[in-house]
Chains A and B, each alone.
Chain A
Amino acid sequence: MSPLHICLLFSSALFCIGLVGALARSNTILVLLGIELMLNAANINFIAFWRYGPNHADGTGIIFVLFSIAVAAAEAAVGLALVIAIYRHRQTIRLQEANTLKG
């Protein structure tokens, strides 16, 4: 098994863990955590394809991931702020109970 395969298997495993976490948890913070894991799985794929791909010399993969990490950090800040706002209004952060926007 080549290193690329190992990386991809690892990132798939990470993605699945994140997906299960996001789907099965009812605590909003843990759902956010799961999403964050999936995002990082994608980041690992970027790095893996960059590192073992044909254009190793240019920094595309790493630049992409740096951007992605920066965006993820901003997203986490917004997400957690939303969770705090929801908690202040309803004294709960169970995702099922945050359904005001239903049609």
Chain B
Amino acid sequence: MIISAQHLWLIPALPLLAAGIGALTPRGGRSLSAGAAIAAMVAAFILSCLALRTALIDPAAHQTFNFAWFDLGHGAVRLGFLLDPLTAFMCVMVTFVGALIFIFSTGYMKDDANFKQFFCFLSLFAAAMLGLLVANSLLLLFICWELVGLASYLLIGFWFHKPSAAAAAKKAFITTRIGDLGFLFGILWLYDARGTLLFFDGGHGVLEAASLSAMAGTTLSCGLALSTAIGLLIFCGAVGKSGQFPLHVWLPDAMEGPTPVSALIHAATMVAAGVFLIARVYPLMSADQVLASVPVHALTVVAFIGGITALMGACIAVAQNDIKRVLAFSTVSQLGYMMLALGVGSWVAAIFHLLTHAFFKALLFLGAGSVIHAAHHEQDMRSLGGLRGPMKTTFATFAIGMMALAGVPFLFSGFWSKEAILHAALEWDVSILPLIMGLAAVVLTAFYMTRLVAEVFFGKARSHAAEHAHESPATMTIPLVILAACAIALGFLGTPAFPWLQAKLLGEAEVHGHSLLVGAGLMGLSIVLVALGLGAGWAIYGRKLRQSATAKDPLETASPPLFAALAARLGFDELYAATVGRANLAFGALSAGFDRYVLGGTISFLTRFAHFTGVVSLENDESGLNAGFNATSEKLRGAGQSYSKAQTGDAHGYLRVLALAFVVLVLLVVLGGGR
């Protein structure tokens, strides 16, 4: 069976169908809802693999299938599907990780009353995410982009009876909306400039040479090239969705959702959508590279935002105590790495890291979920401890994920993808700063992951729940084992000696390997840094294990103010509450004041005036006209009162009358022969 671009719609349609089934089954239809979701995901995975096979036949080609959505004015709004190695690799990753997380969820959510709704939402998310990946039109991509935002909102707030979860859901939705506003402006501007939003359209698409050179050649009054301005606006959307500085604040709070959601949406797939977006529109982002005299290149901004995010996320992760928050900030940091790679010009390194990160971060989150499940929803790592003994499978797989994330050399996938990014940063000739930030984050990553593992799995159990922890059921451990295998194996798709993945993404038919010794200096440096991070982590947290849940953190003892600042996440939430939140409130108060005093004042002036004239004319009436009118008015009042009985105040009553009148009208038309 050959899957080409015109069949691609099947991939998102299957999970959408499952979501529909999930929505329509009654509350008790737990196995139907979950079964449909998993079956759809597995089928979508098989289709994605077939699509990947098609895409790899000629990796340089962009197969498209475009169609008109509707005609408007002189043109038509056109959408389309796109099949190239980037889309195909992403689809395979999302469906594979998604299917495993769905299976894990059947164990994790077993006791939840809203079990079937959970799978309905998960399927909706998967459908939207896959739609985003196969889109050949910025408009279709944007529609799916907003749908994944909706699914994320529903799933973060899945336990909406918890006020913190409801607040986190709103925060995530509103924060990403800020970025999406920029994205929408970028789309509108692009449509205005080019008259189409298709990526590839036989020479007319926005990502094809004619369009790119036209946009890079147009200079705006502020000195920026048109493509730079549009690229930066689109990047706003990616900043919001991918939790980049300064809009990263929603991602750690999103951990209020169930852990499989954190694994699927807030680690492996949705938050990577921003990276995917920038990789997809990479020709547009890099169109201004040919210009020498512009104030700033779009990609330079991307590189710096990525570098700052990578370093900041890693710093904050060091001081978090909630096991999921540590992983959340580590996700922020890793997404920063990907943006950094995009910015320094190596989008294939970014996608390589995206793919490996999806596997090992999903593994880490599911491992954390397994721990949380076993410890009766205890997430504070100060109260855990000693889980190495009772939870052997979870510990072993978690350790593999941790080493992949920390970048332990040679065997683990994270090492190879991170190396690819650091090498790209080294070759960037604009600035050395992103490389330095990336290297600093390498040490910190190894450090905080060692801290996490030492606190959770070593030492002795520090709470009642942790003492009675036992290994999770097979539906939860089997996905862990599979993901752990992938967290190791995936790295070998893109080693410098045989960069198969990179070559296919770039559309090269042949794989040109080069020696592992190229750039060995940087590789050696980063190995030393990883060893430094692991060693420092073990020296501080491993050798002298935490004795009780209330004991102070060694770093807190060493430098209380710094630790407090990091634990408070550098105060971004407070800063936004004091600036954006306060400004919003002030504007609200201003509007209320305008309403009350200006509009209300005008109206009250008018009433006073009317009252005054009334008083004047009253004098006239009292003396002459009254007697005759009084009698008439009494009659009118009586009639009015009997009519006002019809005003029951019961909206249903009104609706009923309306419906009845409608039926009568229809009958009249039908019986009257349509005259």
Interface, chain A (partner B; CB < 8 A): 19, 22-23, 26, 31, 57, 59, 62, 95-96, 98-103
The reply to whether B650 and A96 contact each other, CB–CB distance below 8 Å, is: yes
The dominant DSSP class at the A interface is loop
5 residue pairs A–B, Cβ–Cβ below 8 Å: A59-B70, A59-B73, A62-B70, A100-B649, A103-B645
Q: A100-B649, A103-B644, A103-B647 are in contact. Are A57 and B71 (CB under 8 A)?
A: yes
Interface bits B629-666 vs A (CB < 8 Å: 1, else 0): 00000000000010111111111100110010000000
Q: Which residues of B contact A31 (CB under 8 A)?
A: 651-652, 655
Residues A98 and B71 in contact in the complex (CB < 8 Å), given A19-B659, A103-B645: no
Chain B residues, Cβ within 8 Å of A96 = 650, 652
In the complex the two chains form, is B650's CB within 8 Å of A23's CB?
Answer: no
Count of chain B residues near A, Cβ 8 A = 18
Measured between beta carbons, the chain B residues less than 8 angstroms from A23 are: 652, 655-656, 659
Q: Is B1 an interface residue (CB 8 A)?
A: no
The one of A19, A57, A102 that contacts B650, using a Cβ cutoff of 8 Å: A102
- Is B651's CB under 8 angstroms from A95's CB? yes
Question: Contacts of B430 on A, CB cut-off 8 Å?
Answer: none
- Of chain A, the residue at the smallest CB distance from B643 is A103
Listed from nearest, the 5 A-B pairs whose CB atoms lie closest are A103-B644, A102-B649, A99-B649, A103-B647, A101-B649
- Cα of A103 to Cα of B645 in the assembled complex, Å: 6
Are B71 and A59 interface neighbours, CB within 8 A? yes
Using CB atoms and an 8 Å cutoff, list the residues of chain B in contact with chain A.
70-73, 641, 643-652, 655-656, 659
**Distance in Å from the Cβ of B166 to the closest Cβ of chain A?**
14
> Which residues from chain B contact A59 at a C-beta distance below 8 Å?
70-73
Q: How far is the CB of B664 from chain A (nearest CB, A)?
A: 14
Q: Give bound CA distance, A57 to B652, whole Å.
A: 41
A68 to B655 CA separation, bound complex (whole angstroms): 21
- Partner pick for A22 among B73, B646, B648, B655, CB 8 A cutoff: B655
Q: How far is the CB of A49 from chain B (nearest CB, A)?
A: 15
Nearest CB on A from B480, distance (A): 41
CB distance from A92 to the nearest CB of B (A): 14
Closest B residue to A56 by CB, please name it: B71
- Tell me the minimal C-beta distance from A63 to chain B in angstroms: 8
User: A26: nearest residue on chain B (CB-CB)?
Assistant: B652
Q: Looking at the complex, which one of A57, A100, A101, A103 makes contact with B646 (CB distance below 8 Å)?
A: A103
Give 17 A-B pairs besides A95-B652, A103-B646, A103-B647 with Cβ atoms closer than 8 angstroms. A19-B659, A22-B655, A23-B652, A23-B659, A57-B71, A62-B70, A62-B72, A98-B651, A99-B648, A99-B650, A101-B647, A102-B647, A102-B648, A103-B641, A103-B643, A103-B648, A103-B649
Q: Nearest chain A CB to B653's CB is how many angstroms away? A: 9
Chain A residues within 8 Å of B655, by CB: 22-23, 31
Q: Kindly state the separation between the CA atoms of A103 and B653 in the bound complex, as whole angstroms.
A: 14
Shortest Cβ distance from A66 into B: residue: B72
A47 to chain B, nearest CB (A): 9
Task: Write out the residue numbers on chain A whose beta carbons fall within 8 Å of the beta carbon of B70.
Answer: 59, 62
* Most chain B CB within a 10 A radius of its CB, from A23, A59, A96, A102: A102
Residues of B near A102 (CB, < 8 A) are 647-650
A contact residues around B656 at 8 Å (CB)? 23
Please report the C-alpha to C-alpha distance between residue A48 and residue B647 in the assembled complex, in whole angstroms.
37
Smallest beta-carbon distance A70→chain B, Å: 15
Chain A residues with CB under 8 A of B647: 101-103
Nearest-Cβ distance from residue A52 to partner chain B, whole angstroms: 14
B652: nearest chain-A partner, CB-CB: A95
